[in-house]
Amino acid sequence: MKNIKKNIRNLLPDGIFLLELDLKEKSSYVRLVVDGIKHVSIQDTALITKRVKNMEEINSLFLDGYRLEVTTPGIGKKLMHSFQYKKFLFKKLEITLNRNEDNNYLDAELVDVDDHGIKINENGNLFALKYDEILSAKPKIKF
């Protein structure tokens, strides 16, 4: 599985990253979740699909064929990498902190992102959070 992940990562277009790989041999199903520094287009997912379909490593696992899904994380999925946070600069996030306290939930605006953590504005108060302090962070969805 490690080797397959590595080979899939190598065939992804620049700026696009593999977040999840789900290989289900019994149901002949392969699912890739990808995201990018910029928006991942339908053309990007079509190109990735074509490249993965040509991978002998995967084809040899599914001699009778398989279903392949290449998708991006849904809007409600938690952010896992700094490049994902950067796409939501100056937007509201719902943040759950990795604490055993009553005040472990924040609804704040993301104001800065770096390799070590984020800076947020919660009601005019600026806070810096390291990634290991964050249990989950999701974009706040407005309807």
Amino acid identity of residue 21, one-letter, is L
How many beta carbons lie within 10 A of that of residue 30, not counting itself?
23
Task: Give the domains, in start order, of the chain with CATH numbers.
Answer: 2-71 (3.30.300), 82-139 (2.30.30.100)
Find out whether 107 and 91 touch, Cβ atoms under 8 Å. Answer: no
Find out whether 95 and 106 touch, Cβ atoms under 8 Å. Answer: yes
Exposed/middle/buried for 52, CB within 10 Å: 0-12, 13-18, 19+? Answer: buried
Which pairing describes strands 92-97 and 67-71: parallel, antiparallel, or unpaired? Answer: unpaired
Global pTM reads 0.83
Find out whether 91 and 75 touch, Cβ atoms under 8 Å. Answer: no
Q: What is the pLDDT along the chain (143 residues), one digit of tens a residue?
A: 789 999 999 999 999 999 999 999 999 999 999 999 998 999 999 999 999 999 999 999 999 999 999 999 988 889 999 999 999 999 999 999 988 777 789 999 999 999 999 999 999 999 999 999 999 999 998 87
Distance between CA 41 and CA 34 in Å, rounded? 11
Distance between CA 97 and CA 27 in Å, rounded? 37
